[in-house]
Amino acid sequence: MSVAQSEAAGLFGTRPVPAGTPHVVGRVEEVPPGEGRAFVVDGVQIAVFRLRDGSLHATQAACPHAGGPLADGQTDARVLVCPLHLRAYRWSDGASTSGAAPVTVYPVHAADGDLVVTV
Amino acid sequence: MTAVLGGRAQGVSTLHFAMDDADGIDTRQRLVVIGNGMAGARVVEEVLERGGGEQFAITVFGEEPHGNYNRIMLSHVLAGEEHEDDIVLNSHDWYADNGVVLRAGVRVHRVDTHAKVVHAADGTTTPYDQLVIATGSRSFIPPMTGLYRGPAGATDGEQLLPGVFGFRTIDDTRAMLAAAAEHEKAVVVGGGLLGLEAARALQGHGLAVEVVHAGTHLMNQQLDPDGGAILKQSVEALGIVVHLATRTTEVIGPDRVRGVVLADGRAVDADMLVIAAGIRPVTEVALMSGLEVERGIVVDDQLRTDDPDVYAVGECAQHRGELYGLVAPVWEQARVLADLLTGTDPAAEYHGSRTATKLKVAGVDVATMGVNRPERDTDEFLVISEPRRGVHLSVVVRDDKLIGATLLGDTRKVAYLTQAFDRGTPLPEQRIKLLVDLSDGDAEVGVAELPHDSQVCNCNGVTKGAICDAVAGGCGSVGAVMDRTRAGRGCGSCKGLVQQVVEWAADGDVVEDPTAGWYVPGIPLAKPELMAAIREQGLLSVSAVFAALAPGGQEDARSKMALTSLLKMIWGAQHVRENDATFINDRVHGNIQRDGTFSVVPQMKGGVTTPAQLKKIAEVAEKYEVPMVKITGGQRIDLLGVRKEDLPAVWDDLGMPSGYAYGKSFRTVKTCVGSDFCRFGLGDSTQLGIDLETRFQGIESPAKMKLAVVGCPRNCAEAYVKDVGVVAVGNGRWEVYVGGAAGASVRKGDLLATVDTPEAVMELAGRFMQYYRENANWLERTYDFVPRVGLERIKAVLLQDSEGICAQLDENMQQSIDAYTDPWGQDGRAPATPGQFRPALPLVELPLVPVR
């Protein structure tokens, strides 16, 4: 089973996102401005992004299209672009702007320099 | 019968107080437009669109009592295909609603350009600050005896004999419609576009129609004699009689039209005579006002007459010796003039129009653009003539560019040709493909004949049907279709075909992508302007470029990679690296694979390695359990499936520099064994390849550059199909080819020059690559760039230094060479950003590639 399939079927796709528990995954400075880094939260791999405007975003780590590493993608204020086939996903709701299945987005914020992801 | 077209319902009136009447403090300039036709009204629309309503109090004089209507559609009204109400462009209400004073039905006599006052026929005077003359044209009435009612010698301005019609206005059209209902036989003078349309329309009302044309063939303005002959057949097949190369010398009267006499003495019965023998600019107002008039009112590139506050646009204006009778140039002029008047673009200029038109004449499809026959000895001229089918197609090609095309009876290729004509896109080597879609084994079928389910984009599996659906679903531009379907977003080799399908599906109604001319989608500038802005404002980083040049300072993810490359080229070592503005390959200096691992290709200049290197590579491959070791197409060794976190250690153990197998950059130089070992070798290709790679290693560029050097024309290292290919031809001489490809496209390179020394090869190759770097579009490979710019131009620039830029090109390239650092050595020692080599899929066991 490919990464994409396992993720879609098991980890993110069909499981309803619960109300969620906040988890500290690391320090804000571990994610360089404009880039993304992957973390594991409660057995789930999550990509966390810090944009140049300081805002934080978190998505599932593998691209729903072909399992690409989203933390290696490029970003702007509106979208995240997967490095493998350049599928783009909106931060606002995870929907794809280029015809792929949506990504799951997670609430993320900073507290005293800690990255807090709610899963 | 005399209803005012686009008029107001009876009883409705607007009390219009001009502001200066009301309180005397209207500080707006007074803009007066003489002429309420398509040109004059368009100028007003464009001015209003630019917020000119606040700058100007606008007054428009129209000789006709009507609002503004679409004159082009009059033949459709005559044919009964359109109702006259449907051709109204701007009704009287529109003028009132927009605060424009319309003086409809008022003829202007003259302008006093010193007092800046317009004198109208009704005795009024209207002062202006800026004046636009758009008086258009009128039907040319050739001299013939008995044309006017009244005594012989009656002059212009006299009444035409009843039954004689011009074809210029809605009133002409109404009169013809009324007459057509009562009469049986019409003669149309003029076998041009308008005459043939009138003839066809009248025939549709049941009249017998004969056309008298002074030229030797129909539509001689647009068609060559052979094309005209074929059109004549088609027109006659409709039952319209055509008389060529003769004039109507006399109208038989006396009370009304009873027939005409031709120059050869023949008499033709007729009870209607329609005169459509061409148009003449209306220049009386300009003449009476002392403005310079030749054939039309003479204007400069800012559409200004010889009086600085008086402009002229449309059919009455003569620009660089040309008069235009088509609507597209008139609208271009209106836009330029509005830019100037409102100050939106004080430098706006009109430089003339390349006219292309597609229409249906008497039921026959005709499309014409540019010239219709060769003008120079070196012009290429291709004609396909099929009289039996009524098809006549021709193209004129000059210097590899389409400068004219005429399509009669079959206009399927018009979208493609219009593109080639407007944008100067590359033409197929086999010129016949301009006119016919050849199935010559390449299975190159016209898009119309492509089956619905045939795959257009093989990378993303997009069918013709999916593209058509996207167009039907509202995608109005090629870019929008590509975004929606992803067609053409893979290797890009199908972009041309995607464009053709979109144009076909949209039936030519395609919006030109506003972003098409921009270097990157996020910044509205073409490459030269973008580079100039970056230099002038000293923008060293991608975030600085966005902040300074993007609308609203908005970042754009899809623009970042191209900007990083551009900044590195412009600034060299001064460029401020921002890792997030690079693609992942450039962040970690390897080519990302489908599972998120990377490939590692050590530098191996010219494809030459050593036993020691091979041992080292073997040890590293075993140590890191590299799942596959493979020889690349570029004569390198590739370690595939290396985990991101292992990259720095792999580089360190290898102790070799990066081979740059991942970037949009100078990649590899393939070589053969040349004169050192090969018994056929004519030159030391191996050493030259190594030298080229040493000099240009890692140079970033709009798309990748793959090179090769071969020691003889047997071409073992495939130099003929490289971005830059060098071939030893004996006696110390080397041929330098550019623009070759053997990837998604296959193209033999063009011979740029034959030079005498390896040093000359290095200089020319560097110069070409720098010219390409500075002028190519993002991701435009040399095999598209060279044909787009044209080999002759590239030769002139690089060999004769026609633009005087060779020294600068050499210097700029040297700056990039000096900025080279080995990225493996650099980032291997100290990561560029925290976590640069951290796994991105920490729970996935990599590599997923099967171990062989």
Work out the angle between the directed axes of helices B647-654 and B611-623 (0-180°, nearest 10): 150
Peptide bond into B528 cis (omega under 30): no
pLDDT at B9: 58
Whether residue B261 is predicted with pLDDT greater than 50 in this model: the reply is yes
Let me know: does B427 contact B400? Beta carbons within 8 Å.
yes
pLDDT at B473: 85
Q: Which residues of B fall within a CB distance of 8 Å from A68?
A: 596
Element (H, E) at B111: strand B108-112
CA distance B667 to B705: 6
| Inter-chain CB proximity A68 and B596 less than 8 Å | yes
pLDDT: is B36 or B503 the higher one? B36
Whether residue B725 is predicted with pLDDT greater than 60 in this model: the reply is yes
pLDDT tens digit string along B54-67?
Answer: 999 999 999 999 98
| Inter-chain CB proximity B580 and A75 less than 8 Å | yes
Whether A101 has its CB under 8 Å from any CB of chain B: the answer is no
Quick one: average pLDDT of B762-779?
96
Q: Which residues of A fall within a CB distance of 8 Å from B645?
A: none
Provide the pLDDT confidence category of residue A8 given band limits of 50, 70 and 90: very low
CA distance A113 to B9: 72
Predicted ipTM > 0.90: no
Q: Which residue out of B482, B558, B827, B843 would a mutagenesis test of the A interface target, given it has the greatest number of A Cβ atoms within 10 Å?
A: B843
Whether residue B12 is predicted with pLDDT greater than 60 in this model: the reply is no
CA distance B524 to B322: 33
Whether residue B461 is predicted with pLDDT greater than 90 in this model: the reply is no
Quick one: average pLDDT of B108-123?
95
- Average pLDDT of chain B is 89
How far is the CA of B749 from the CAs of B9, B51, B351, B425, B732, in angstroms? 69, 52, 35, 18, 21
Instruction: Report the DSSP beta bridge partners of residue A74.
Output: A81
pLDDT at A5: 38
pLDDT at B526: 92
Weakest-pLDDT range from B142-151, B437-446, B534-543: B437-446
Quick one: average pLDDT of B67-73?
87
The sheet that has B125-127: what strands, in order across it? B108-112, B117-120, B125-127
pLDDT at B258: 94
Whether B594 has its CB under 8 Å from any CB of chain A: the answer is yes
| Inter-chain CB proximity A37 and B583 less than 8 Å | no
Quick one: average pLDDT of A20-30?
92
Whether residue B444 is predicted with pLDDT greater than 70 in this model: the reply is no
Q: Which residues of B fall within a CB distance of 8 Å from A67?
A: 595-596, 841, 844
Whether residue B21 is predicted with pLDDT greater than 60 in this model: the reply is no
> For chain B, what percent of residues have pLDDT higher than 90?
67
pLDDT tens digit string along A63-72?
Answer: 999 899 999 9
Provide the pLDDT confidence category of residue B846 given band limits of 50, 70 and 90: confident
b/e burial code for range B706-743 (CB count within 10 A of at least 16 → b)? bbbbbbbeeebbbbbbbbbbbbbeeeeebbbbbbbbee
Quick one: average pLDDT of B367-387?
90
pLDDT at B4: 80
Most confident of B152-161, B412-421, B802-811, B841-850: B802-811
pLDDT at B154: 45
Peptide bond into A107 cis (omega under 30): no
pLDDT at A55: 94
pLDDT at B447: 75
Q: Which residue out of B542, B844, B845, B848 would a mutagenesis test of the A interface target, given it has the greatest number of A Cβ atoms within 10 Å?
A: B844
pLDDT at B1: 47
pTM: 0.56
Alpha helices (H) along B476-538: 478-485, 495-505, 527-536
Cβ-Cβ contacts under 8 Å between A and B: the total is: 107
Residues 35-64 of A with CB under 8 A from B: 35-40, 43, 45, 47, 52, 61-62
pLDDT tens digit string along B554-609?
Answer: 999 999 999 999 999 999 999 999 999 999 999 999 999 999 999 999 999 999 99
Whether residue B439 is predicted with pLDDT greater than 90 in this model: the reply is no
Weakest-pLDDT range from B270-279, B300-309, B357-366, B477-486: B357-366
pLDDT at B18: 47
Quick one: average pLDDT of A37-56?
93
| Inter-chain CB proximity B840 and A86 less than 8 Å | no
Provide the pLDDT confidence category of residue B501 given band limits of 50, 70 and 90: confident
Whether B532 has its CB under 8 Å from any CB of chain A: the answer is no
Q: Is B235 exposed, middle or buried (0-12, 13-18, 19+ CB in 10 A)?
A: buried
Quick one: average pLDDT of B445-457?
74
Compute φ and ψ for B258, nearest 5 degrees.
-120, -15
Whether residue B25 is predicted with pLDDT greater than 60 in this model: the reply is yes
pLDDT at B44: 95
Let me know: does B603 contact B852? Beta carbons within 8 Å.
no
Weakest-pLDDT range from B240-244, B460-464, B732-736: B460-464
Quick one: average pLDDT of B756-773?
97
